[in-house]
Structure 1
């Protein structure tokens, strides 16, 4: 695969992105949805239609979209088609600068898709770019808990699906990739705080949106030599971000789990409360591309969860 890996933030023009089509299995009733930790039952025929909405919107924006399920061996595909969470590709890996670091599933239900995708990534990018052994201890790290703020700083949550030990194991790789600071926040352990991107997001080069309770949480700041603490507002301000605190405690994942296609354009769910993206004066001119993906969102994640950027034009 002739793919350039280049991601230094969350907002530059997206050039190449990984996705995965939904499973072949329905989640037929509310009890099954509860048992597999989904929000609602899902009809996979409809889910596939909404997945095509996602793919077409990005392709229409000139983005190269790779569906990794198309590259699996026949044997792997037979298993993959039955993995209901496989379309949440964000968690599998992350491109830090030009280096790709592997994730590790925080729940056993998701481990097969990590193994399958990592073998593909190793084949596509080779061991120099994809550091497949970076977290060999197997500590949980799902990249819905990670934001690349800029060329200096990363923000990571330790919570239900990401361990502090995994961050310690990977920090030197992140620093070697070119970043100078890692901010670690610790969200409450609840289903609605499963990942950092269910509670916050980068909305522009200098605007960060976050649920209002997060202003009370300190951040541990790691460099290659030191560790210190700051409040979240101070940490983000120091790295050039205004923080827009959302005060609507009832807002859903769809409201905040969006994807920046370029500095002027955001891909957002039709179910999202778009007022959140218009409150800050620097966001009023943003172009919002709305797509229907609510059948996919019933799995408990949003558009950002369903996309893994490989290349942004910086």
Structure 2
């Protein structure tokens, strides 16, 4: 998240009048992230204690947005800990402000856990499985809204010429080789047999909140669904493992955290044989996706009031490690 489109308190107060959410108390820009403009939005409403988040969509087209917003709404209706989009007086959850599409959703409780322990990972694994079950139900109910992971292999291949020119030859060769490996895998029968559905595709430590205490944490919720799309469930899980269950300095898998996350997921949804076989390539795919996107954001940044591109070398290290060996397995 970042702030590309500033919104003044006066503009926010005027925009809020289309909701039954009381009066504006305060609006504060959120500086983390790199895709949309986001603001903490506090009102006098009793709904959710008056605590909301306004997201202004900077890249996604209005026609794409119902998939994301209805996905969140469907999960929230099932009791999964995710933001709940707020309808205006007409019942619409997709709005506009300053000529751009936007959405107001509930603000979750808790704080980031940047040093997760096995218990945090256990709760996250269970929640990811619940999100996948809810995603399947959403897909069955609203098949016309489904869309693929927009940062999937096709996007990564399209970004190759845009980032390769900035890279030394060895890194460009590594990028091309892994894209070729993933393309071969994703064209095969094993990949086609993987269970799939709508997934978050971006479950990082800064997209999950925990409250409670460190000794007895409680997962407050998963947010920032705007990279979601239909993809394999193990890709979504691999993205989470590659962030939540690693040593951040080296990228190496931490066995205790990985085992806790994966076992909790499997208790809700057991893995198939095809998923077990494809797991090493899923971990590599998760690392590749974020290496490519971080390379693009680093070398071709957009202007924003609060924007700090992430270091792409972090996922280069992770990809190299996963190519050498997965570091964990599915039960």
Q: Same fold (TM over 0.5)?
A: no
Structure number with greater Rg is 2
Q: Which has the higher helix share?
A: 2
Higher relative contact order (CA 8 A, sep 6+): 1
TM-score of the pair, normalised by structure 1: 0.30
